[in-house]
Amino acid sequence: MEHHAEPQGHHHVESVRTYLLVFGALLLGTALTVGAAYIDLGVFNDILALVIAITKATLIVLFFMHVRHSDRLTKVMVIIGWLWLIMLILGTMDDILTRGWIFGGR
C-alpha cells in the first residue's frame, strides 16, 4: 500500500504575546464603540462606528483567521471580499442619503 504524504508547507505560529496584544486592541475597540455611542457626533456617529468595526474585523481576519501569513491567493480573495462589502455599504448609504432628493422628503 502506497503512502502519499501531504506536502509540508510553512505554518507560522503567532506568539501568545501577539494574541494578547490583538485581544487588547479588540477590547479597546469595543470600549471605543461603547464610548462613542454616548457622544453625539451627528452623522459621524455611523462613520466612526463603521471605522471601528472594520478595524476590529481586519484584526480578526489577519490574526485569528491567519490570513497574515497565508498565500497570495488567500489574500487576494480576502481583499475582494472587503471590496465587495465596501460596495454594499456604499450602495446602502447612497440609497439612504438620497431618498429625499426626488420626492422632497425629510
pLDDT in tens, 23-60: 999 999 999 999 999 999 988 998 899 899 989 999 99
Helix (H, G, I), strand (E, B) or coil at 71: coil
Distance, CA of 28 to CA of 18 (rounded, Å):
15
Tell me the pLDDT of the chain averaged across its residues: 86
pLDDT at 17: 95
pTM of the model: 0.70
Q: What share of the chain is helix, strand, coil (3-state, %, to 5)?
A: 75, 0, 25
Q: Would you state the cell numbers that stand for residue 10, as one nine-digit string?
A: 510553512
Distance, CA of 20 to CA of 25 (rounded, Å):
9
Q: Would you state the cell numbers that stand for residue 33, as one nine-digit string?
A: 464603540
